[in-house]
Chains A and B, each alone.
Chain A
Amino acid sequence: MAEKLISHIPEGPLAEKWKKHKAQIRVVSPANKRKMEIIVIGTGLGGASAAASLGELGYNVKVFCISDSPRRAHSIAAQGGINAAKNYQNDNDSVYRLFYDTIKGGDYRSREANVYRLAEVSNNIIDQCVAQGVPFAREYGGLLDNRSFGGAQVSRTFYARGQTGQQLLLGAYAALNRQIAKGTVKSYPRHEMLDLVLVNGEAKGIIARNIVTGEIERFGAHAVVIASGGYGNVYFLSTNAMNSNGSAAWQCYKKGACFANPCFAQIHPTCIPVHGTQQSKLTLMSESLRNDGRIWVPKKKEDVEKLRKKQIKPSQIPEEDRDYYLERRYPAFGNLVPRDVASRAAKERCDAGFGVNETGLAVFLDFKTAIERLGEKVITERYGNLFQMYEKITDTNPYKEPMMIYPAIHYTMGGLWVDYNLQTTIPGLYAIGEANFSDHGGNRLGASALMQGLADGYFILPYTIGDYLSHKFSEPKTDTNAPEFEAAEKAVKEKIAKLLAIKGKKTVDEMHKELGHIMWEYVGMARNEAGLKSAIEKIRELKKEFWSNVYVAGTNEQFNQELEKALRLADFFEIGELMAIDALDRKESCGGHFREEMQTEDGETKRDDEHYMYVAAWEYQGEGKEPKLHKEPLKYENIKIAVRNYKD
């Protein structure tokens, strides 16, 4: 069983591992690179940076995205910033400190060697982005500015107003465009991967649907890279883009790639609260706001009542009647505790009856103190676009009254299991960025998703994939007429035909909302054994109903957004089920995974290192069968394992 998961972590001291590994892995000659083909699925920070870098190296790359342009990938929506251990602020930051914060932030459930490498290459990312013309925020002296993010006591976050993800993605997209113009990369926008094709157990291509025409097409390669992001939309309401989905990664799982830690989903504390049942999407307010915003609820229940009845405005509640509960509970980190901690603390206050909007599910994020201290102009400079966005959505001016926020699903730490080389358990199949599991453990720190996507795409995968391909250059181009492609295409066509033929009574969105309710209720911020067991049953029933009672409008041979949604939802049922199975197995609380049975007296997470210090990697066993659990033990040799403490 242990053989399934070989992590290929290099021997030697932590700080030497990556250097040593790079020296030892093989490279492919320029002439041979020209003969080889690589498929990249997704064009967010991971996919775009990988495709561009691989193109620069001379490989023939085919890059696929479901949007009309690579630039629309959801990385574009990341607001606050990107971490790097530059120590430009002279606040004693270092590669080790970034590594330490990330492992601790992830509640000791990520792999040491991977995280250290991530911290190591973080500095190269900033250099690369500046060279590409990313307009990071600067000081008057012309040098780069930084700010703080949750889970850190140093200022290591680089940012471009509240649009850092956009600017980094435009950088990677520009690098990609340059390669497309050169002909090393061929771009396939509005194409959706619907299956992975294995030949002799190795990843050799994909089946994709042309979203405009409905044509089912075959693409072959020497290796396939999955950079399709996370599966947060399993909850229906999330901060993910509407089209974000887990299907590409899920097809890989069903073809034999292990899926790791699916239950680790991040709930972001500062999102605009749900306003009603007609809502399709939740909007994030950047974590960077917690640099200057203070989170509170009223101390007195009568103030809560008056607020709900709109008899008073929040600004009228005097200072002494406000409970700045994060500052109270976590004095060392205050408003900058990690996301999972801040989310649970908000839930605790709301459950206790102190929630401040009509639904009772909101807390305040207040800039009064910061505006008094810095002036409105500075606040506008830092967060202007976020304040504008908030006002457009809620019709409330956050310069005058505090924002109302509530936790929402934001990111998934779990994903395809990968080794140190970012290769999955299928040879030739790689996973990068949010699509893999490796770097964030039970909770991702803010401003680290952008860092990981670009680290994987620019600096890690282009090296490690070469090692695999160095054994493959004598192989001819993959023949897409092979029986494996034939069979995969047939299966995809049959699945589509089956969906379209059901013509039941419920719409795709109705069923997605039902799944979302189950997930949020039982596999959300707080989980317990009975709830998880009933969630598994309910999801299975719902999936059965889906396959007999969904109504998918239209045909395959047209631009058909209902069919796209239905195909993704079909996979979300299965992803949700695996999340619940994993959450049931992990009878401990760690990071974003909070098992109610496992908490300290003051309601903090209680890990069980003795029994659960492992990566749970699940292997598909076939339709209707229980997946098989493989455990990769986590070893901490360079960090002292401790109870995560943000109090002192």
Chain B
Amino acid sequence: MDLTLKVWRQKNAKEKGHFETYQVKGISPDSSFLEMMDILNEQLIKENIDPVAINKGCKSSGPVSFDHDCREGICGACSLYINGRAHGPDNDVTTCQLHMRKFKDGDTITIEPWRSAAFPVIKDLVVDRGAFDKILQAGGFISVNTGGVPDANAIPIPKKNADLSMDAAACVGCGACVATCKNGSAMLFVSARVSSLALLPQGKVEAARRAKNMVAKMDELGFGACTNTRACEMECPKNISVTNIARLNREFLCAKLKD
């Protein structure tokens, strides 16, 4: 496949970014999107190694930076906004699990970073998602120390609740929900963590405190409000349901009522 790529280039957080256009040729439809990006980067580096032979003496602006790691759809590092969609045109995948067979030969593909006030660009397609860590530090845990806990089978948990908890816990923290939301809201992310813990008896003990603290931190860090457009759910690579947002709202209201 031969493709035209319009890629966002930005030197660092301070400088203004711009699009650059590149051509890539001979891409296998079985390649993943990030393998295609690897090929692009090899090409951009080679243009600089020997600009005369490869590109009429023109140097490229160097390889494109993008976050990636496991390439199995689970670490949540990859975060490309492709043709106006978080993680691109396929459903239920992270960028690394998107394959080139979803595109057509000759396509033009636009590649941008997540765009959100809470996720400043570090370089090119790499953004700083440290705000997610900060939200979880505000309460996304059960306060138990290592050791001195009861036997794992001491508390039976209905299978249904354990399954619902697992559904919510599948969140990979990629930030597609924030990047997709017109308000830049992190409600799906926060609700997934709050739900997965609130659904379990172990997590009930400090559920109220958790919901309040995490929501307060989310607001403080500049994420927007939720207006129930459900766009986040549409683009979530792990199918996290907006029913979790409803559960978070209930947890939050109950907590506030107890104040």
Residues of A that sit less than 8 Å from B by CB: 49, 52-53, 56, 67-74, 76-77, 86, 88, 124, 126-133, 135-144, 160-161, 163, 165-167, 170, 173-175, 177-178, 180-181, 187, 189, 212, 241-243, 275-276, 278-281, 283-284, 388-389, 392-395, 458-459, 462, 504-505, 507, 509-510, 551, 553-554, 558-559, 561-562
Contact = CB atoms under 8 A, between A and B. Distances in A.
Contact of A393 (B63, B76, B97, B162): B97
Contacts of B28: 275-276, 278
Given A72-B77, A138-B157, A507 B97 contact: no
B200 interface: yes
A73 B173 CA distance: 13
B209 to A, nearest CB: 12
A181 B93 CA distance: 32
Nearest to A72: B75
Interface stretch (B122-130, B183-191, B223-231, B244-252): B122-130
Given A395-B99, A507-B42, A562 B156 contact: no
B5 interface: no
B71 A281 contact: yes
Q: Is the interface of B mostly helix, strand, loop or mixed?
A: loop
Interface residues of B, number: 79
Given A69-B133, A143-B156, A74 B62 contact: no
A133 B200 contact: yes
3 A-B pairs with the lowest CB-CB distances in the bound complex, closest first = A142-B156, A174-B141, A131-B149
A135 B173 contact: no
Contacts of A388: 92
A76 B140 CA distance: 17
A561 B65 contact: yes
A177 B147 CA distance: 18
9 contacts: A49-B146, A68-B67, A72-B76, A132-B142, A133-B196, A279-B31, A505-B49, A558-B11, A559-B123
Interface string B185-217: 000000000001100101100000000000000
B35 interface: yes
B30 A275 contact: yes
A98 to B, nearest CB: 16
Given A76-B74, A77-B72, A69 B202 contact: no
A160 B165 CA distance: 11
B12 interface: yes
A241 B71 contact: yes
A553 B60 CA distance: 11
| B70, B128, B150, most chain A CB atoms within 10 A | B70
B159 interface: yes
A228 to B, nearest CB: 14
A53 B145 CA distance: 7
B35 A278 contact: yes
Given A143-B153, A174-B142, A392-B93, A77 B74 contact: yes
Nearest to B157: A142
Given A138-B157, A212-B122, A130 B67 contact: no
